[in-house]
Amino acid sequence: MAMTPQFTITRVLDAPREVVFKAWTDVNRLQRWWGPKNFTNPVCEVDVRPGGAMRIHMRGPDGTIYPMTGVYHEIVEPERLVFTASALDSNGEPMFEQLTTVTFEAHGGKTKLTLHASFANIRPEAAPHLAGAEMGWNMSLDRLAEEASSIGAGSLSITRVFDAPRDLVWKAVTEAERLMRWWGPKGLTPLMCQVDLRPGGTFRYSMRTPDGRVMWGKWVYGEIVAPELLVSVVSTTDEEGNPVRNPMSLGHPLEVLFKMTLSENDGKTTMTITGTPYHATEEERKAFEAGRDFMEQGFDGTLGKLVAYLAQAADQS
C-alpha cells in the first residue's frame, strides 16, 4: 500500500502568535501573502469557522489562474487551524484533497509555527502539483513572515530604563496592590485594580480623571514568561469589561496587542513596550498611527509614576 504523501514545515516568525494567527484568518491579510512568490489572489473568500468555506484563485506570474476550494474544520484562536483544500482542474473538479493542520506556539514573544500537510484522493494529473507543494508552502510562509512583520510596522514602541532590579519591576506591573500605587497616566487616580495573572486571565482597572469621570480598562493576558515577557490584548472598556471606544480618541482601535519585555543589566531594568492594532480596520490603524504622539505622552506620564514608585519601593526593601 502506497504511503500517503505528507510533509511538515516549522518556522519561527518574529511576531506574537496573535498577530500571526490574525494573518491566517483576516481575509485582507491572507490575500496579501497566500501562495508562492510572485503569485496574487484576485479571488480570496474565507468563512473562518468550523464548516466554513474557503475559495481562493491564485494567479501565477504568467497569468494562469489556479483555483482552489476548502473547508475549515477546527479554529482554536490563537493556537490551531485545521482545514481541507482541493486544487481544481479546468472543469472545476478536485484533483486531490489536502488536509492542513497549522499550530501556533508562543515562543518568547515570537511564534513557532508548525504546518503539517497530507494528501488523499489523488488523481494522476495532480502529480506536478504535489511535487511542488512543499516548495510552494515554503514560499508562502516566506511571504507570511513579511506580512506578520509589516503588521507591526506601524507599531508604537517605547523603551525605558529603570534604576531597579527586574524582579521588582515585574512585581510592580503584575501585582494589583502595587499597580494601585502608580498605574495610569499623570493626573488620573487608580480606583480599582484586579489581576488574574495567567494566559487568558485579565488585569481590570478603573481610574478617575481630573474632571471626575471614571474610565475602565482591561488587559487580556496571552503569553507570560516571568519576569521577562508579557503579551496582552488591551482595551478601554465599560464597567462590565466590554470593549468601548476610547473617549479621548474615538477612532482608536477597540483592541491593541501589547508586548512588554524586561531585561536586566547591572541592577537596572530595560523595559520595551510595543503596541500594534488588533482586530482593527484600516481606518483604525491610521487613527492609531496618527495618535502615536498622544499615546507616547500617556506612557511618559504613566512610566514617570512607575519611576517614583520603584524608588519608594527600593527604599522600603
- Per-residue pLDDT tens digits for 161-204: 899 999 999 999 999 999 999 999 888 999 999 999 999 999 99
| Mean of pLDDT values over 17-23 | 88
| Mean of pLDDT values over 94-101 | 95
- Residue 256 φ/ψ, nearest 5 degrees: -130, 135
Cell of 186: 499623570
Mean pLDDT of the chain: 90
The pLDDT of residue 1 is above 50: no
Q: Mind listing the pLDDT tens digit for each residue in 35-85?
A: 998 899 989 999 999 999 999 999 998 989 999 999 999 999 999 999 999
Q: Mind listing the pLDDT tens digit for each residue in 206-250?
A: 999 999 999 999 999 998 999 999 999 999 999 999 999 887 777
Q: For the chain, how far is it from start to end, CA to CA, in angstroms?
A: 70
User: Helix crossing, 292-316 with 166-174: angle to 10°?
Assistant: 120
Fold designation for 156-316:
Alpha-D-Glucose-1,6-Bisphosphate; Chain A, domain 4 (3.30.530)
From the centroid of its chain, how far is CA 37? 24
Q: What is the pLDDT of residue 207?
A: 95
Letter for the amino acid at 281? T
- Compute the half-sphere exposure of residue 173: CA atoms within 13 Å on the CB side of its CA: 29
- Every domain range in the chain assigned CATH 3.30.530.20: 6-151, 156-316
Rounded to whole angstroms, what are the CA distances from 71 to 75, 131, 137, 165?
Answer: 11, 23, 18, 51
Q: What is the pLDDT of residue 252?
A: 86
Residue 2 — pLDDT band, cuts 50, 70, 90? very low
- Residue 73 φ/ψ, nearest 5 degrees: -115, -40
| Closest among 212, 240, 239, 236 to 298, alpha carbons compared | 236
- What is the C-alpha separation between 145 and 23, in angstroms, rounded? 10
Q: Which CATH architecture has domain 6-151?
A: 2-Layer Sandwich (3.30)
Q: What is the pLDDT of residue 152?
A: 59
